[in-house]
Amino acid sequence: MRLIKLALISIAGLFVLATLMTSLLPSVVIVSRAINVEAPADSVLVRIRDLRQWKNWIDGMNDTSVNIISATQARLGGTDVTITRVSATAVESTWRTRNGHLQVSTMNLIFSPAQHVTVVQWQFQQRLSWYPWEKLGSIMNDKIIGPMMEKNLGNLKKTAEKTN
């Protein structure tokens, strides 16, 4: 009986300690990447505002698990993607997984007419709850999402510059 009590108290203590430690971590995590594209902003905007165009520059969009419903809605495996806002300088979308986790993706376009370059800045933002395992897992977001974003932005650059 003593061992069981010790084990329960130890588990509770570790949980409290982990919760206190992870409370120092931010509740909002942003992963961001950018690239310079030698093409006008409207040429880049055409490729990012329509989900049907994403198959030309995002790896895996031609996969059989991808169901593009419309220009603003798609299902990528177990994730629902919806474009929620489009302007001349930004495209915002929500990415909701089956278990309800939500990420907001924003692609900002900054055009420099003097240099004929469009800077495409892509970011994912995720709000975390107080659970220690969620905050600890978010530490890996940059390592997981970042390389995928870099590769896809490189693909976007190639397709946009090829047609201009």
Q: What was the pLDDT predicted at 89?
A: 92
Q: Which two tokens stand for residue 34?
A: 């950018």
What distances in angstroms separate CA 26 from CA 50, 125, 133, 134, 140, one per listed residue?
32, 12, 13, 11, 13
Q: For 5-147, where are the E strands, in sequence order?
A: 28-37, 66-68, 73-76, 79-86, 90-97, 102-112, 117-127
Per-residue pLDDT reduced to its tens digit, 20-42 = 666 666 677 788 999 999 988 88
Query: Percentage of the chain with pLDDT > 70?
Result: 90
Question: Is the CB of residue 33 less than 8 Å from the CB of residue 150?
Answer: yes
Q: How far apart are CA 164 and CA 151, in angstroms?
A: 20
Q: How far apart are CA 63 and CA 106, in angstroms?
A: 23
- 93's CB contacts (< 8 A; 6+ apart) are 81, 82, 83, 84, 104, 105, 106
Tell me the pTM. 0.79
For residue 91, pLDDT over 90 is answered with yes
- 73's CB contacts (< 8 A; 6+ apart) are 51, 80, 81, 82, 83
Q: What is the CA radius of gyration of the chain?
A: 20
Average pLDDT, the chain: 85
